[in-house]
């Protein structure tokens, strides 16, 4: 097996969310392409899936772009749109976008390697950047609007999880629904306890039997 990195024709990066060194981007003969989980230039950055759900977007997609030495700013080679399910969580949507991106890449790869695809520059006026998700982003005030709580629950499902504090104990919302403008919590995981029904949790709080 001979040759170094400079012997490759193309590098493919998936949902990288960081700035790659310029010398590495330009190393392959054709260059480096990135499959990004949004319709660029919307939601550049590390958490485009969560950002779309938090914004209440009904549509998202994947973009295949040429990588440049600037975060998710390179020309677009292809994109594929998809609707966001009303109950879809970030892990579920991320899995679908992975499959969508893989299928799109297989479809356009011959055109990329054959130089038959004309890259389309991104419209910088429409650029939106999303921040990296942190653990503390999952902390919520249950008095927030129900729809916002629902967006956060779906966006932060799995990690960091949506949570609040009862005294000094963290309580993770493990199951919830949204209907008729109401955010309904079904199951919670109090710190140091097992998953329990939210109504039982409230009952223990009211009767001072929860510890």
Place of tokens 């990288």: 16
- Pull the structure tokens for residue 165: 């504090």
The confidence band for 18, taking pLDDT boundaries of 50, 70 and 90, is confident
Is the pLDDT at 207 greater than 60? The verdict is yes
Q: Tell me the domains of the chain and their CATH numbers.
A: 5-130 (3.40.50.170), 135-206 (3.10.25.10)
Give all strands of the β-sheet with 162-166 in edge-to-edge order. Answer: 162-166, 169-179, 182-190, 196-197
* pLDDT on residue 15: 80
The confidence band for 30, taking pLDDT boundaries of 50, 70 and 90, is very high
Three-class DSSP category at 75 = coil
- Pull the structure tokens for residue 154: 């779906």
Task: Convert the pLDDT of each residue in 103-156 to its tens digit.
Answer: 999 999 999 999 999 999 999 999 999 999 999 999 999 999 999 999 999 999
DSSP string of 98-159, one letter each residue: HHHHHHHHHHHHHHHHTT----B---GGG--EEPPP-GGGGB--TTS-HHHHHHHHHHTTTT
> Is the previous residue joined to 176 through a cis bond, with omega within 30 degrees of 0?
no
Q: Are 171 and 189 in contact (CB under 8 A)?
A: yes
Average pLDDT of 79-94?
98
pLDDT, greater one: 3 or 68? 68
Q: How does strand 10-14 pair with strand 31-36?
A: parallel
- Element housing 206 (H / E): helix 198-206
Using alpha carbons, list the distances in angstroms from residue 182 to 5, 144, 157, 158.
Answer: 55, 11, 18, 22
């Amino acid at each position: 097996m001979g040759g170094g990195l400079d012997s490759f024709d193309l590098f493919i990066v998936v949902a990288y969310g960081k700035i790659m060194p310029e010398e590495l981007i330009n190393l392959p003969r054709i260059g480096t392409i990135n499959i990004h989980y949004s319709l660029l230039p919307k939601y550049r950055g590390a958490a485009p899936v969560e950002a779309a759900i938090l914004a209440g977007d009904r549509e998202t997609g994947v973009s295949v772009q040429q990588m440049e030495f600037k975060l998710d700013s390179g020309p677009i080679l292809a994109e594929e749109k998809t609707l966001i399910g009303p109950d879809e969580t970030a892990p579920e949507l991320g899995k679908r976008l992975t499959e969508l991106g893989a299928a799109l890449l297989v479809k356009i790869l011959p055109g990329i390697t054959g130089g038959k695809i004309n890259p389309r520059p991104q419209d910088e006026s429409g650029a939106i950047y999303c921040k990296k998700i942190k653990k503390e982003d999952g902390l919520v005030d249950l008095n927030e609007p129900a729809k916002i709580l629902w967006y956060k629950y779906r966006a932060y499902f799995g990690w960091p999880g949506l949570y609040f504090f009862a005294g000094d104990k963290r309580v993770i919302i493990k199951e919830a629904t949204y209907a008729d403008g109401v955010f309904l919590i079904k199951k919670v995981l109090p710190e140091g306890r097992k998953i329990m029904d939210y109504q039982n949790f409230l009952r223990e709080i009211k009767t001072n039997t929860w510890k």
